[in-house]
Amino acid sequence: MEDEEAEIYDGIRAQFPLSFGKQTNQHTSLEAIHSATRRTVDSSSHSPANKGLPSLSSPSKAWLKDLRNPNPSSRHHGDAKPSSSAHENQRSEDRNSAFGKPSSTADNGSKGRVDGEDLKDDEVMVGPPQPTSNLADEDGVMIGPPRPPPSSNFADEDGEDDAMMIGPPRPPPGSNSADEDGESDTVMIGPPRPPLSSDLAKSDSDDDSDEEAEEDRYKIPLSNEIVLKGHTKVVSALAIDHSGSRVISGSYDYTVRMYDFQGMNSRLASFRQLEPFEGHQVRSLSWSPTADKFLCVTGSAQAKIYDRDGLTLGEFVKGDMYIRDLKNTKGHISGLTCGEWHPRMKETILTSSDDGSLRIWDVNDFKSQKQVIKPKLARPGRVPVTTCAWDREGKCIAGGIGDGSIQIWNLKPGWGSRPDIHVEKGHEDDITALKFSSDGRILLSRSMDSSLKVWDLRQMKKPVQVFGDLPSHYAQTNVAFSPDEQLIFTGTSVEREQTTGGLLCFFDRARLELVSKVGISPTFSVVQCAWHPKLNQVFATAGDKSQGGTHILYDPSLSERGALVCVARAPRKKSVDDFHADPVIHNPHALPLFRDQPSRKRQREKALKDPIKSHRPELPVTGPGFGGRVGSTKGSLLTQYLLKQGGMIKETWMEEDPREAILKYADIAAKDPKYIAPAYAATQPEPVFAESDAEDEEKS
């Protein structure tokens, strides 16, 4: 019986294909993915070479491309024609079709006219078809043979001189006589113009090659773009690990988000979100040299260390704010402004603060510091240190001071707080970023005075170059080098009066001139930027008061991994069998593990409303009273009110003389002593007072 059922089942199953009931996954090609992420705005339109030219949209580019390269179906023997000739031929074909004339694409075996004679079906026309006249009779009858195709030069090639061709043959494709003389609508008389001289052609080719070489020289990956979203305010901090697999971003919304390119799909969602310190903005992030830990600097006075997965390893101690000398405090006493990990040593970090000091810390000991650096000031006081930076070897420290000065310290035996290099008026406003070159010769400084300055460390009296018109409204706006350090780039902020949005400005380091401006966002300001050497991708953070994100610019032909990995990975489709039950606990007295921890601010507000926890005194009741209490006009308690109304409490003290009120108790104490006088009556002698003598008084 079981065998018969199996045979029946196999017979039925054989009627269906093997793929019946299975849904095949539709894989999107990489070309389609990259075309979807391609930038629509031409970044080269902002370059100085093309200054003043508007950027072209994708449909306009496609139209120009088709205009330069006509449809290959209208070509013969691979001959190409200029765009003007192609349009002229198209217009003539449209006229012919409108007048009932045959098209120029007719086969050689079709019927036509040669020297006024009809061709038979078995005859083959030798040479090209005869040109047609542009004139037509009133009845629309075609006069003469059909018009030759636009690219037909068979008459010249085959030597068919007897073929009744009107006028000389059309000029070769290289001729631009019609375009140069503006005679595209007139009939050309005489032989074709000779080709351009070799010198002119060579100069044109040299100009084109120079422009192409200029574009290919820097190879900025700008063709495609993706955005890592998730923050609700501007992204003020950015750090990419050395391998390029993980990105961390910090924002003014007090959170840090962690992204992993290997684990992300095309949704570009972060795998972890942190809140280092409640109510404080994230100002700086930095990976360790081994990329197993990262430093998080917020607006609080304590920096935190996290591991690679976002777990807290510890936070540094806070100093005593009542100690005047900053060298005697154990840590910072005001909000931090910047922090950076040592480029070589994995246990050393550097922080700067608004309290006017820089401190070097040991990661293995969170309760002590290695060195305190106090910058040199013109007047005694506390001036905030707005930024700090290591050089590439970790042997030099640079700090940007709130008074606009730049100070540099060399780490050597016996070094102290006295700077080795001091530039008093480096900038007119707060310095937002400092950056050393890898060779240790160049120092870049970015400021909120809308400028970027290039300094030569061998001669710091004045900057080598000053780039202006770079607005910056955020204290975290940085500056960076390209991987080969040929380019210097920084971001700009959006201003109310101007129409330009947030830009990435690239400058040539050798020539010290602007190379390109890349538009990142029309409404958001660009704060942090970086160019990863292994990925060859440009990162730029942007945002405003309501939204923030990290823009990643890449080129599929130049970049590697990074954004290319996650963009090509489609998200998992939800299946019918997927089931996820969210546990809902209705017990109000559940374990603390399942309770939502309220914020401290809400707890304080709730405690202030509670009269018992806040120890608030009872306020007097105004009006008639309620709840057993009457108004303040009749007494604060009900018993006092009743006694006053019944006459048991008599208030006569306002009508009596104070002296008489005191003396009446003296007579009572003398007549009826109760406590003190009976105890001393047996032991104390009676007081004897001197009697006054009237004579003595008169004598005196």
What domains does the chain contain, in order, with CATH numbers?
Answer: 224-570 (2.130.10.10)
The confidence band for 306, taking pLDDT boundaries of 50, 70 and 90, is very high
Residue 620 has pLDDT above 80, yes or no: no
pLDDT, residue 571, reads 73
- Measuring CA to CA, which residue among 229, 316, 238, 306 is closest to residue 275? 306
**pLDDT tens track for 242-280:** 999 999 999 999 999 999 998 888 888 999 999 999 889
CA 655/CA 647 separation, integer angstroms: 17
| Comparison of pLDDT for 312 and 45, the residue scoring more | 312
| Comparison of pLDDT for 682 and 590, the residue scoring more | 682
CA 509/CA 149 separation, integer angstroms: 54
The confidence band for 689, taking pLDDT boundaries of 50, 70 and 90, is low
CA 515/CA 214 separation, integer angstroms: 10
Q: Give the distance, in angstroms, between the CA of residue 546 and the centroid of all CA atoms in the same chain.
A: 13
pLDDT, residue 235, reads 94
CA 552/CA 541 separation, integer angstroms: 9
- Measuring CA to CA, which residue among 67, 105, 102 is closest to residue 85? 67
Could you tell me the end-to-end alpha-carbon distance of the chain, in angstroms, rounded to an integer? 155
User: Taking all residues of the chain, what is their mean pLDDT, rounded to a whole number?
Assistant: 75
Radius of gyration over every alpha carbon of the chain, rounded to an integer in angstroms: 46
Residues 6 or more apart in contact with residue 483 via CB below 8 angstroms: 531, 532, 533, 536
Instruction: Render the burial of 432-455: b for 16+ CB within 10 Å, e for the rest.
Output: bbbbbbeeeebbbbbbbbbbbbbb
pLDDT, residue 499, reads 82
Contact 634, 623 (CB under 8 A): no
pLDDT (mean) for 158-187: 50
Which of 29-43, 322-336, 405-419, 503-517 is least confident?
Answer: 29-43
pLDDT, residue 695, reads 60
Residue 526 has pLDDT above 50, yes or no: yes
| Comparison of pLDDT for 197 and 645, the residue scoring more | 645
Contact 385, 402 (CB under 8 A): yes
Residue 169 has pLDDT above 50, yes or no: yes
The confidence band for 11, taking pLDDT boundaries of 50, 70 and 90, is low
Residue 108 has pLDDT above 90, yes or no: no
**pLDDT tens track for 345-360:** 989 999 999 999 999 9
DSSP string, 330-343: SS--S-EEEEEE-S
DSSP string, 578-627: ---PPP----TT--GGGSPPPPHHHHHHHHHH-TTTTTPPPPPPPSSEET
pLDDT, residue 389, reads 94
Residue 120 has pLDDT above 90, yes or no: no
- Measuring CA to CA, which residue among 213, 388, 209, 189 is closest to residue 286? 388
| Comparison of pLDDT for 120 and 345, the residue scoring more | 345
The confidence band for 143, taking pLDDT boundaries of 50, 70 and 90, is low
Residue 88 has pLDDT above 50, yes or no: no
Residues 6 or more apart in contact with residue 265 via CB below 8 angstroms: 566, 569, 570, 571, 572
The confidence band for 38, taking pLDDT boundaries of 50, 70 and 90, is confident
pLDDT, residue 59, reads 54
Residue 60 has pLDDT above 90, yes or no: no
pLDDT (mean) for 184-201: 55
| Comparison of pLDDT for 527 and 325, the residue scoring more | 527
Overall residue count recorded for the chain in this entry: 700
CA 556/CA 224 separation, integer angstroms: 8
| Comparison of pLDDT for 78 and 683, the residue scoring more | 683
Residue 70 has pLDDT above 60, yes or no: no
The confidence band for 451, taking pLDDT boundaries of 50, 70 and 90, is very high
Which of 94-108, 559-573, 576-590 is least confident?
Answer: 94-108
pLDDT, residue 531, reads 94
**pLDDT tens track for 626-655:** 566 655 555 556 666 666 666 665 666 677
| Comparison of pLDDT for 632 and 79, the residue scoring more | 632
pLDDT, residue 412, reads 83
Amino acid at 206: D
DSSP bridge partners of 58? none
Token pair 């009826």 is at which residue?
A: 672
pLDDT, residue 117, reads 45
The confidence band for 596, taking pLDDT boundaries of 50, 70 and 90, is low
The conformational region for residue 572 under phi > 0 = left, psi -120 to 50 = alpha, else beta, is beta
Residue 610 has pLDDT above 70, yes or no: yes
pTM: 0.58
The confidence band for 168, taking pLDDT boundaries of 50, 70 and 90, is low
DSSP bridge partners of 257? 249, 273
pLDDT, residue 643, reads 67
The confidence band for 300, taking pLDDT boundaries of 50, 70 and 90, is very high
CA 93/CA 331 separation, integer angstroms: 85
DSSP-assigned letter for residue 38: B
Give whichever of 50-59, 91-100, 170-179, 394-403 has the largest mean pLDDT: 394-403
DSSP-assigned letter for residue 403: T
pLDDT, residue 177, reads 41
pLDDT, residue 161, reads 45
Q: What percent of the chain has pLDDT over 90?
A: 33
DSSP string, 630-644: E-GGG-SSHHHHHHH
Contact 445, 464 (CB under 8 A): no
Three-state SS for 391? Answer: coil
